[in-house]
Structure 1
Amino acid sequence: MTPSIPAIALNTGARLPLFGLGTWQAMNADELKVALRVALDAGYRLIDTAAIYQNEHVIGEILEEYFNAGKLKREDVFVTTKLPFYAMRPEDAEESIKKQLAALRLSYIDLYLVHCPCAMKPNPAGISNNMEHQDVEHIDTWRVLEKYYKSGQLKALGLSNFNAKQIQALYDKAEIKPTNLQVELHIYWPQFELHELCDKLKMTVTAYAPIGSPGRLTFRPDDDWPIGSPMEDPLVVELAKKYGKTPAQILIRHLLQRRISVIPKSTNPDRVKQNIDIFDFELSTEDQQKLLSVKTRVRLFEFRFCAGNKHFPFEDVDLTKKSDEKESM
């Protein structure tokens, strides 16, 4: 029996599942197809992707397969995707939305996010520190998203990797208010202040890297990644033993109890099944508070490829640190 995934209301009236499948780095089409089928059969109803993940077409193929077979209806699945930061000029945003709808084989996208506040020019070499910046105001990009919201092709709009000032500035100018913020969020980077702002603005929050994104280290092993592994935290290991769960399951359950949507990524079928097995237990108030009180603080994704952009969002990042890392959450 598949679990019933709890959901949280968006300001549009739609409901965002509090648990789903992240697909960053899932670029092997065959592995992703298997993972998607396992996930949908196990009860996943939220699929998170992005143009820069280069896998929307694979997701579209599997969703169409399930819809055509009558296994699921379109309204059963919540699809989130994102506008790439190399398509933030209004004319480029228009083209990207159309291409993404076609790749996903959908007539509408449930939630569409501006992936990053920094507008960049397309780079054939990929995401790196030598990308060229573009001067694009967020509200100009947002007006295009509002147009497609009004047409019904984008059912809800949101932001990703924006800081508090950027969120508030766009919110104040927007006709259609953002309804979701997706950011790095885990016990080592709990985002208490941003979560509080989103509550005030009636915006939901989605956590990427909820278990610490261990895959980032194999994605670019030569990069100077910030070091932090929430799954190896002594408290998390202790609680995993106490509840008879994996460290990943403890971290996911912790965020669900904060009413934050969680999108752990995996293409390993066993881990895909494990990650959703978190609805048969609840962390005690005492244990939840212990996790909220973890003292370690480390941002795992620094977006230094955006250094020099006037919209660079993270004041805490040391931009003098040398690296050529690719961060594309």
Structure 2
Amino acid sequence: MSKVPTVKFNNGQTFPVFGLGTWKSKPGEVVQAVKDAIDAGYRHIDCAHLYGNEKEVGDAIKTKVSEGVVKREDLYITSKLWCNSHRPDMVEPALRLTLSNLGLDYLDLYLIHWPTAFKAGPDLYPVHATGKYLFGDEDYVDTWKAMEEVCKKGLTKSIGVSNFNKRQIERVLEKATILPVTNQIECHPYLNQKKLIGFCRSKGIVVTAYSPLGSPDRPWAKPDDPKLTEDLKIVQIASKYKKSPAQVILKYQIQRGNITIPKSVNKSRIKENLDIWDFQLTPEDIAYLDTFDCNGRVCHFVEATGHPNHPFTDRDEY
């Protein structure tokens, strides 16, 4: 039985506030990580076509269902539409491919991964002979309309967005007949996203925090980049609660009302990350952690630099 609390989306669906992220989980590691997570009590697994490991996630789910540890309906599986499939007629085939890879009949949540379209086709990162990335001209609002159609067909219970800024969400809301239930964004004490979270909440949209620990294993990290879990101020808070720095950082997101999806393939850390329900940070500690914000974004999506829909070009859009 999972002890993870749930949040209610604007469509009435409930969803666990804590899950396992699978970005950067290497082939050969992710099967065991998902099995360990399900055994530990995780019921929410966050996936994406881009991550290249959905078949392994599916293998782990199949094993745990066949062992009787969980039923399919106990699990909440998220995946994401990649940028090379923004053309409206490509949305359903992309989702069906994800379902096939995962071995599932439906998703619980499907997101537009980024608002930036790449050239439609099989290449995840289509590149010109000059080395420049090839962009598509699809409008994410048209992509959203196709997302609504796959939701109506029951291929996914809920739909949402990821990495969208305020203006982009407003454009979707102007045309939407099915509202996004979540906006999945990078969020941690060095990038607390207070304004964007407040805006999303005002529209009934839950925020999902990815890279809540600052993604210390990101491939482009420099040796001298600050690490959240080694921040002495956070270490000090953690010692007060007799918890690890990671547990404090994750609890910070949960108490702010955000769904949180830390990635790990280490069994003990998978269990430790989930062990955050027996303490509460004080309002003073949450306010203190809020002051760590330094616009410390680690996921800049440089491949889409120059795209007219790149979400981070205007700080006024949060």
Structure 1 position 134 matched with structure 2 position 133: no
Give the whole-Å Cα distance in 1 for the aligned partners of 2:207 and 2:267: 26
Measured after TM superposition, the shift of residue 220 of structure 1 is 3.9
Measured after TM superposition, the shift of residue 152 of structure 1 is 1.0
Give the whole-Å Cα distance in 1 for the aligned partners of 2:187 and 2:6: 18
Moved more, 276-285 or 45-54: 276-285
Does structure 2 conserve the Cα–Cα contact (< 8 Å) formed by 1:227 and 1:300? Answer: no
1:188 counterpart letter in structure 2: Y
Secondary structure class of the residue paired with 1:72: coil
Q: Counterparts in 2 of 1:270-289, with a 5 A limit?
A: 270-289=268-287
When normalised by structure 2's length, the TM-score is 0.93
C-alpha RMSD of the superposition: 2.0
Secondary structure class of the residue paired with 1:168: helix
Q: Counterparts in 2 of 1:76-225, with a 5 A limit?
A: 76-121=74-119, 124=123, 126=125, 130-216=132-218, 219-220=219-220
Which residue pairs with 1:264 in the alignment?
A: 262
Give the whole-Å Cα distance in 2 for the aligned partners of 1:246 and 1:97: 38
Runs (4 or more) in structure 1 with deviation over 3 Å come to: 122-129, 224-228
1:60 counterpart letter in structure 2: G
Question: 1:86-114 CA distances to partner (integer Å, 9 max, x unpaired)?
Answer: 11111222221110111111111001000
Measured after TM superposition, the shift of residue 227 of structure 1 is 3.6
Give the whole-Å Cα distance in 2 for the aligned partners of 1:113 and 1:226: 33
Which residue pairs with 1:292 in the alignment?
A: 290
Question: 1:279-326 CA distances to partner (integer Å, 9 max, x unpaired)?
Answer: 111111221221122253311111121112111111258xxxxxxxxx
**Match 1:235 to one of 215, 225, 233:** 233
Residue identity over aligned pairs, in percent, reads 38
Relative to structure 1, is the Cα distance of residues 270 and 282 closer, same or farther in structure 2, using a 3 angstrom cutoff?
same
Does structure 2 conserve the Cα–Cα contact (< 8 Å) formed by 1:212 and 1:228? Answer: no
How many residues align structurally?
A: 311
Give the whole-Å Cα distance in 1 for the aligned partners of 2:132 and 2:78: 29
Secondary structure class of the residue paired with 1:86: helix
Which residue pairs with 1:326 in the alignment?
A: none
When normalised by structure 1's length, the TM-score is 0.90
Secondary structure class of the residue paired with 2:101: helix
Gaps of 5+ in 1: 318-329
Relative to structure 1, is the Cα distance of residues 145 and 316 closer, same or farther in structure 2, using a 3 angstrom cutoff?
closer
Does structure 1 conserve the Cα–Cα contact (< 8 Å) formed by 2:118 and 2:126? Answer: no
Relative to structure 1, is the Cα distance of residues 137 and 295 closer, same or farther in structure 2, using a 3 angstrom cutoff?
closer
Does structure 1 conserve the Cα–Cα contact (< 8 Å) formed by 2:82 and 2:124? Answer: no
Secondary structure class of the residue paired with 2:83: coil
Secondary structure class of the residue paired with 1:190: coil
Which residue pairs with 2:46 in the alignment?
A: 48
Q: Counterparts in 2 of 1:246-257, with a 5 A limit?
A: 246-257=244-255
Give the whole-Å Cα distance in 2 for the aligned partners of 1:293 and 1:209: 18
Which residue pairs with 1:33 in the alignment?
A: 31
**Match 2:306 to one of 308, 315, 319:** 308
Give the whole-Å Cα distance in 2 for the aligned partners of 1:212 and 1:164: 22
Does structure 2 conserve the Cα–Cα contact (< 8 Å) formed by 1:186 and 1:209? Answer: yes
